[in-house]
Amino acid sequence: MHAIRELEDRFSLNVYPKRPLVIVKGEGARVWDDQGRVYIDCVSGNGVANIGHANPAVIEAITRQAQELITCPGIFYNPVRARLLEKLVEIAPDTISRTFLCNSGAESIEAAIKFARYTTGKTEILCATRGFHGRTLGALSATHHPKHKKGFGPLVPGFRHVPFNRFDELVAHTTKETAAVLLEIVQGEGGVHVGHPEYFQQVQELCRQRDILLIIDEVQTGFCRTGKMFACEHFDLQPDILCVAKAIAGGLPMGAVLCSERIQLPVGAHGSTFGGNPLVCAAAHAAIDFMVTHKLDQQAAEKGQYLVDRLHQQDFPIVREIRHLGLMIGIELRTRVKPYILKLLDAGVLALPAGRTVLRLLPPLTISYPELDIVVEALVKVLKGNEGNLNPNNTRKHESRE
Ligand SMILES: Cc1ncc(COP(=O)(O)O)c(C=O)c1O
């Protein structure tokens, strides 16, 4: 047995379905294992590495900041944090005027739930079937699938799940106690399902009419992944709260709750020890500047379309449907996806599942076209059952494509 894998298996709580791979290095859209094999990374740390692994701008920013100041709680002012807060409001939808900084996606959802209840004085949150919002108790209560919740009850009361993209159902479940509607724009964990434009418009209108807050969870879709800085821009949405995390700080842990003027809390009502620490704020500055300078939104839109067009040229009997928005891609199979994830790994491409049958690709948005071609080639061979023809993990082959 491999020594590193044995150590993790023995001393970790073993909550992750592990792949047989020890990753030791990353650069751009590639990662290397401890045997020196290279892989095209369409996992990106679960949708974190939008600007690529080991992005020099982030390395430089955190190296410089680490020498100045790493920690500084929110009870003091700090220039790096102050400018990041300003930057987030600049890039966010027009309604957003203030931000609470935290450390993860689930934490941003927890805060959003608290802020919505406090602001409205109401308790119920309407969520969508297939929705995923994280693993802490509040976020888990907002998450739909029972498999995530089994054995963890009692959960937080006040959450109802109504079918995604079905406005009539949502209206039917709205009550005087409805504080907020909480939705993803593209349901990521739930299978890469994109919301319908008219559905979002109707939901936004309903929220305005009935004094309900609109909370959009862009933990996975945010920061250029779908072809816009935030996916809600595709649908002209002006949320009251926008939850973000994952790609915000170039790979370092950060979450943020972007709020409209409607959200007001008294001093002392919420907080976080690590939230908004200068080290992570410096990384977020560098990451966001990189996204803007390199037009990663446009790149994601073009590369996503390229990849999907190339896949549509193929005849895949086992593929039921290909769904995408930008470089957030779901390939729904007519069969279980897990064996194909492992075959792709053998072929030198890392991919994610989204539910039982969907193969999800979330490559860094900096991925090159030759690297996308390698991904297509691997998918074609694996999904058509010809993976024996591939030359797995051939480093020279990858390099010769550049
Ligand atoms: C849409 C969405 N919301 C929330 C979360 C939870 O984020 P985290 O794992 O950082 O707590 C995720 C994680 O995958 C997510 O995809």
Whether 387 and 379 have beta carbons less than 8 Å apart is answered as: no
For the domain bounded by 56-293, which CATH number is listed? 3.40.640.10
The pLDDT of residue 385 is 84
The pLDDT of residue 216 is 99
Q: Is 133 in the pocket of ligand 1 (CB under 6 A)?
A: yes
State how far the Cα of 186 lies from the Cα of 300, in Å rounded to an integer. 15
Each as own residue / partner, the long-range contacts of residues 133-136 (CB below 8 Å, 24 or more positions apart, any chain) are 133/105, 133/106, 133/109, 133/182, 133/184, 133/217, 133/219, 134/104, 134/105, 134/106, 134/107, 134/109, 134/110, 134/219, 135/106, 136/106, 136/107, 136/109, 136/110
Number of H helices, E strands in the chain: 13, 17
Could you identify the atom of ligand 1 that is nearest to the CA of residue 47? 14
**List of residues 6+ apart from 210 with CB closer than 8 A:** 174, 178
- Ligand 1, atom 16: nearest CA belongs to which residue? 220
Q: Is 189 in the pocket of ligand 1 (CB under 6 A)?
A: yes
Q: Annotated catalytic, 346? A: no
Residue type, 106: A
pTM of the model: 0.96
The pLDDT of residue 386 is 65
φ, ψ dihedrals at 333, nearest 5°: -95, 165
The pLDDT of residue 392 is 43
Q: Is 134 in the pocket of ligand 1 (CB under 6 A)?
A: yes
Strand, coil or helix: 163? coil
Q: Annotated catalytic, 343? A: no
State how far the Cα of 332 lies from the Cα of 146, in Å rounded to an integer. 21
Continuous H helices in 69-178:
79-91, 105-120, 137-142, 167-173
What are the start and end residues of each CATH 3.40.640.10 domain in the chain?
56-293
- Ligand 1, atom 7: nearest CA belongs to which residue? 105
Distance (angstroms) between ligand 1 centre and the Cα of 139 equals: 9
Task: Determine which one of 122, 228, 246, 343 is catalytic.
Answer: 246
State how far the Cα of 49 lies from the Cα of 44, in Å rounded to an integer. 5
Whether residue 154 is preceded by a cis peptide bond, meaning omega within 30 degrees of 0, is: yes
Whether 213 and 177 have beta carbons less than 8 Å apart is answered as: no
Q: Annotated catalytic, 11? A: no
The pLDDT of residue 108 is 98
Q: How many CB atoms lie within 10 A of CB 82?
A: 12
Could you identify the atom of ligand 1 that is nearest to the CA of residue 134? 6
pLDDT in tens, the chain (402 residues): 689 999 999 999 999 999 999 999 999 999 999 999 999 999 999 999 999 999 999 999 999 999 999 999 999 999 999 999 999 999 999 999 999 999 999 999 999 999 999 999 999 999 999 999 999 999 999 999 999 999 999 999 999 999 999 999 999 999 999 999 999 999 999 999 999 999 999 999 999 999 999 999 999 999 999 999 999 999 999 999 999 999 999 999 999 999 999 999 999 999 999 999 999 999 999 999 999 999 999 999 999 999 999 999 999 999 999 999 999 999 999 999 999 999 999 999 999 999 999 999 999 999 999 999 999 999 999 999 866 544 444 433 343 332
